[in-house]
Amino acid sequence: MNLYSLFDLFGAPNPDSLENRNLSALRLLTPPVGKLLKKYFRAEVRGIGNIPPGAALYVGNHNMAMLSLDTAIFCAEALRAHGTDALPFGLAHDMAVSVPVVRDLILAVGGVRASHENAHAIFAAGKKAMVYPGGGLEAMRSFANRNRIVFGGRTGYMRLALRENVPIVPVVAAGAHSASIILTDGSSFARTFRLDKLLRADVWPLMLCLPWGLWFGPTPFYIPYPTKILISVMEPMTFPRTGPEAEEDEAYVRECADRVENAMQLRLTELARERSGRRRGK
């Protein structure tokens, strides 16, 4: 049990239901919001044709602390190219689906509590899910590590894909983490004050952002710097062995996870190099 469980006492919507998503609102609002964000960040989305039909697991690198506006840009392009079949349910942190106001927005756009049971229900319905294995550790990584994939050794996403026999579609974004400057992730502070137990927070960042200036801790809102964002949807990745036995093979899971993370890191490095070259006028 953690502090977020207290919100359940006040009649909160069921964060384990797939029925909270408002597809009518998403069809209406996603295109203009995506267009606005794409213009603001001068964003480019590549490889959108790589999205397969049916069940799949999008695996992304987490950016922008708690904003993740690169996700909205990706979803707008996916909707435009493939319709609602390409829109994912998001396997979300307890905080995102518990705190009032934030919770209502997250659930309406397709967020569900992150659990294997909910993921199974999504895939059984032939739908797509999206995960950010790095979680807060990656979303609040330091500015110095902005061009690094930081999953922290987590392999839950890989076990999920193997058990459910669904392809992984890596979605890599470069530039989004430059929307603010995170000086340090504050992981030592989080451990010292047991925030990992109380709030499931492995980090407690010190960041520079507008309009707050110097801010300590996660901020649900800030004005992002209009950094150039490049997003690459990579080709689906499948694996020779799947099912419960494959999921329980620790060495195999690690091998498959390394394959995914190495491919994502290579693509992120390429995109970051391209952004850097553009800034120098090359």
pLDDT in tens, 225-243: 999 999 999 999 999 999 9
Task: Count Cα atoms within 13 angstroms, Cβ side, for 33.
Answer: 16
Per-residue pLDDT at 222 exceeds 80:
yes
Write the single-letter amino acid at 269.
T
pTM of the model: 0.91
**Arithmetic mean of pLDDT, 249-278:** 96
Per-residue pLDDT at 272 exceeds 80:
yes
State in Å, rounded, how far the first CA of the chain is from the last one: 53
Q: What is the pLDDT of residue 1?
A: 47
Per-residue pLDDT at 211 exceeds 80:
yes
Q: What is the pLDDT of residue 281?
A: 61
Q: At what angle do helices 69-82 and 23-40 cross, to 10 degrees?
A: 120
Percentage of the residues of the chain whose pLDDT score is greater than 70: 94
Per-residue pLDDT at 96 exceeds 80:
no
Q: What is the pLDDT of residue 13?
A: 78
Q: Are 271 and 176 in contact (CB under 8 A)?
A: no
Per-residue pLDDT at 175 exceeds 60:
yes
Per-residue pLDDT at 93 exceeds 60:
yes
Give the mean pLDDT of the chain.
Answer: 91
Q: How confident is the model at residue 12 (pLDDT cuts 50, 70, 90)?
A: low
Percentage of the residues of the chain whose pLDDT score is greater than 90: 77
Q: How confident is the model at residue 160 (pLDDT cuts 50, 70, 90)?
A: very high
**Arithmetic mean of pLDDT, 177-191:** 95
Write the single-letter amino acid at 109.
V
**Arithmetic mean of pLDDT, 235-254:** 97
Give Cβ neighbours of residue 27 (< 8 Å, ≥ 6 apart): 79, 84
**Arithmetic mean of pLDDT, 153-157:** 96
- Residues 93 and 3: their CA atoms lie apart, in Å, by 13
Q: Are 137 and 99 in contact (CB under 8 A)?
A: no
Give Cβ neighbours of residue 119 (< 8 Å, ≥ 6 apart): 91, 129, 160, 164
Q: Are 70 and 231 in contact (CB under 8 A)?
A: yes
- Identify the bridge partners of residue 173 per DSSP, sorted by sequence position: 231
Per-residue pLDDT at 197 exceeds 70:
yes
**Arithmetic mean of pLDDT, 86-102:** 80
Q: What is the pLDDT of residue 9?
A: 43
If you write DSSP's letter for every residue of 104-127 in order, what string do you get? HHHHHTTEEE--HHHHHHHHHTT-
Q: Is 83 left (phi over 0), alpha (psi -120 to 50) or beta?
A: left
Per-residue pLDDT at 107 exceeds 50:
yes
Tens-digit pLDDT profile for residues 15-71: 888 999 999 999 999 999 999 999 999 999 999 999 999 999 999 999 999 889 999
Q: What is the pLDDT of residue 223?
A: 96
Per-residue pLDDT at 200 exceeds 60:
yes
- Residues 231 and 270: their CA atoms lie apart, in Å, by 11
If you write DSSP's letter for every residue of 147-175 in order, what string do you get? TS---TT--HHHHHHHHHT--EEEEEEES
**Arithmetic mean of pLDDT, 249-265:** 98
As a residue count, the chain comes to 282
